[in-house]
A and B are shown apart, each in its own frame.
Chain A
Amino acid sequence: MIYPATNSMLYLFLEIITASLFAGLLLGLHRKVIARIQRRPGPPLIQYMLHTLKFFIKELTIPDTSSMPLYVAIALALAGAWVLAFLVGPVLLGPYIIIIMCYAVHKVSEHGIGLATGSPYAKFGSSRAVLSATSEMPLVVAPALVFVRTNSLILQDIINYQIINGSLVNQLPLAALATFILVITKTPFNPFGIVYGKDIISGFKTEHFGVIRGVLMFGETLAFFVLLWCFLVIFFGGVINTPLTILLAMIGVTFILGFICALTPMVAPYHSVMIQWIFALLAIANVLLI
């Protein structure tokens, strides 16, 4: 196989294609694990990817109540933000802070996607997105602790530090736990997923179908890949630092996530926020312990 030159645009594009396909398979595996635990045969592994592709050829109608440019633009912004986060983080090993910024854009987009439709169900979803945004403390606490250890938030430096000094999970176990909670909140059917709860139909995505839903799901697959990657590389970077080990470890973590999502009930919105705050506080306590 002929490899394109590193940092050429074709290289970056192929990386995006690979990551979205692989994360689509991972999300299919996640559903399969949940189904097996609940003693169902479950859908095939490629089901999530087929859903994503299906939406690209489905008819798109725009509701009368929606505010039109925003309705499309903010869904595209979500996908664009994760493309940026993926290129800066997993591909180029750049600053971690940009991934956090993209995560913030994701949260704002969730809110905007719900509001732009004008549907009451979507508005419930978007107001819950604001509520769950208050619980993103682990996202901020964990990098701060990592910075205290490594004196850098460039991902390449963090990996190099861990290759010399051993994985950060040994030094900051509770911060790793908090980041793991963050990864859980981004998987489908998770206990903290108040935004996607079935009690409000499909949350903020209720009125998004057709092409826009396809683009949204593409963004979410990339988001799953990026967050899993961040968790693995920042806390287990001493062992997991080549593409093969990263992809294998992602399959392993997806198994664990499947078990968690299958065996836990959905918590109430306020409890979800409280539980995530407890884990963030535990991560802060990590500083006092070491």
Chain B
Amino acid sequence: MPYFQFLPHIVLFIIGSLVGLEASYKWHSEPFVQRTIEPIPLAIAIIGGILINIYAPLGFLFLGFVLGMRPGYGFYESILGIVLALVLWVIL
């Protein structure tokens, strides 16, 4: 069975998570305080949710960025991105 057709999806997801982790630790070096929706991850999540229906590996790169952010951050953004992706997939 050719599983490796999903290799680009997985590899790009991992790269996105790594970049997201590094970036979010740059943005937030303070102790974890509270959850708020931030504009940049939200934009990335929305781009990912749209792209995943056009060219899936790139969409996984952007969604991986949001999902892979520092623990506690990017939670609502990633949920929004996934829901958007699902809604678009149902519509299209």
Does A289 lie at the interface of the complex (its beta carbon under 8 Å from any beta carbon of B)? no
In the complex, A264 has a CB within 8 A of chain B:
no
Q: B1-44 interface mask toward A, CB cutoff 8 Å, 1 = contact, 0 = none?
A: 11111111011011001100100000000001000000000000
Residue of B4, B13, B32, B67 ringed by the most chain A CB atoms within 10 A: B4
Report if A43-B4 is in contact (Cβ < 8 Å); known contacts: A25-B13, A49-B14. no
B68 at the interface (CB under 8 A from A): yes
Q: How near does chain A come to B89, taking the closest CB pair, in angstroms?
A: 13
Q: Is A45 an interface residue (CB 8 A)?
A: yes
Option from B5, B10, B67, B68 in Cβ contact (under 8 Å) with A21: B10
Does the CB pair B1–A3 fall under 8 Å? no
- The complex places the Cα of A17 from the Cα of B5 at a distance, in Å, of 12
Evaluate contact between A243 and B68: CB separation under 8 angstroms. Answer: no
Contact check, B13 vs A18: say whether CB atoms are below 8 A apart: no
A1: Cβ under 8 A from any B Cβ: yes
* A131 CB-CB contact with B under 8 Å: no
Q: List, in ascending order, chain B residues with CB within 8 A of A147's CB.
A: none
Main secondary structure of the interface of B (DSSP, over half): helix
A41-B2 contact in complex given A21-B11, A46-B18, A46-B68, C-beta closer than 8 Å: no
CA distance A91 to B1 in the complex (A): 5
Asked if A63 lies at the interface with its beta carbon under 8 angstroms from chain B, I say no
CB atoms of A18 and B4 under 8 A apart = yes
Report A-chain residues with C-beta under 8 Å of the C-beta of B4.
Answer: 11, 14-15, 17-18
Other-chain contact of B71, A6, A42, A49, A90 (Cβ < 8 Å): A42
A246 within 8 A of B: yes
Question: 14 pairs across A/B with beta carbons < 8 Å?
Answer: A11-B2, A11-B4, A14-B4, A15-B4, A17-B7, A18-B3, A41-B72, A44-B17, A45-B17, A45-B67, A49-B14, A90-B1, A243-B5, A247-B6
| Residues of chain A whose beta carbon lies under 8 Å from any beta carbon of chain B | 1, 3, 6, 11, 14-15, 17-19, 21-22, 25, 41-46, 49, 90-91, 93, 242-244, 246-247
